[in-house]
Structure 1
């Protein structure tokens, strides 16, 4: 058993779990940390997508009561039926765009200028949204969303496929721009993550299955467990945070990270096109 490899898997799991649900782009952080660790080959790319399932399990556990009530009430309670329909509706645009445009996105957008611009522009948008008057809020709870609201957020989620944008950042900030409260936008972002990331992980594992062997199981197991634990801590913390704070600190962090991308790319320290 390669203990060094397992340690790298654990560190990547921590990064995935802590950044997946914050509006700061898990992809950007995984590229940087993977490069620093020398963990950036083709198998590592599959690993990064697969361990998202650990982070998703954390969301399922944190929201277990709401998810259980929605599933058990499906067909008998209008609110539960609308909730499930909205999650499915929000998921479909990303599923369709991802299936049709994944190769093009990977070929043309995974480069330093795009990643840096995504970080910086995303940070500026967060600053702008947080400075808007709160009277723009019209939806306080996810259950109040219409099918059209869910579709709009789902379309915005597609922007998260651009490296450096952040899926959670796109859905949370996009939801706030569309009239959702900070709490409702955060909740719906978490719910959308369940089908979106599970589908992405399953597709990646199936597509790249020829790269994997039984010897890889310990590495994947460590990554999944650590990703789950760190995501569980992060999700619980973020839900408390959004109740009394804005996303402004994340905006400035994104802008600073965008500068890091430009510097590391300019010096040749990180190959941002490697993914």
Structure 2
């Protein structure tokens, strides 16, 4: 029962930090240090990724009408919405760079870069970039204000920023893609929305690879922990996504930049003291 309660906490943290550009990895590392789960290392490595499926399902639910290409016409007949199919084409193009690197180098990246030094440095660095980009964009009207205005070139550029997050933990996938979008003239709302869409194939793919690597043999406790974390992250994500989409209509992302800098400093101090 204690491990199930821990899974609830991890699900809450995942549901919040997956969508806010503050790095879910950084928070999970801190949480693991404070409240480690009594599970195998293989299960833990898989859990950290697959628990995100709950958060992804929240995106599917909230944006269903914008991402599901089969829709009914006035005669109640199913038809293909080609605008949505075109959107999926852009999503796939944007996901290719991170997908290739993830498939080829996942184990190497996990072994060499998944440590508190990298996470802390990227938390701080991306936080600074958020502040600089928002200061630069102050008073500047974005060139792209709807997802329909995104072309394949812009989608690929955003995907290249997502690649940075795939390589360096602590960057934040949503943070990297939002920064990239803002830098090339995309509005905050479209940047956040397209980031949500990109998460769908990325996290389904990453979860499948982790499950494949772990195997599909679970104990009853492991299944309980995994599904609890996923369910809680799903419920929390619904609230957080709605909050974020409302927040950025009136505010910029600088508050998240400052938060990242503070969190990065905390990670450095905390783990630096332990290492010493």
TM-score by length of 1: 0.91
Q: Which residue of 1 aligns with 2:111?
A: 107
Confirm or deny that 1:44 pairs with 2:48.
Answer: no
Q: Which residue of 2 aligns with 1:172?
A: 178
For 1:143 and 1:48, the matched residues in 2 are separated by 33
Residues 32/84 of structure 1: CA separation in 2 closer, same or farther (3 Å cut): same
For 1:177 and 1:107, the matched residues in 2 are separated by 31
- Taking only aligned residues, the RMSD between alpha carbons, in angstroms, comes to 2.0
Residues 34-88 of structure 1, C-alpha deviations (whole Å, 9 max, x = no match): 22112275122211211111000111111111113x3449995542232111011
- Give 3-state SS (helix, strand or coil) of 1:23's partner: coil
1:93/1:158 contact within 8 Å kept: yes
For 1:213 and 1:63, the matched residues in 2 are separated by 34
Structure 1 gaps, min length 5: 271-275
Residues 243/194 of structure 1: CA separation in 2 closer, same or farther (3 Å cut): same
Q: Which residue of 1 aligns with 2:4?
A: 6
2:66/2:84 contact within 8 Å kept: no
Residues 212-262 of structure 1, C-alpha deviations (whole Å, 9 max, x = no match): 334422111211110101111111110101111111110000000111111
For 1:76 and 1:12, the matched residues in 2 are separated by 39
Structure 2 gaps, min length 5: 73-77
2:70/2:81 contact within 8 Å kept: no
1:129/1:177 contact within 8 Å kept: yes
Query: Alignment length, in residue pairs?
Result: 267
- Shift in Å, 1:140: 0.5
Q: Which residue of 2 aligns with 1:202?
A: 208
1:75/1:81 contact within 8 Å kept: no
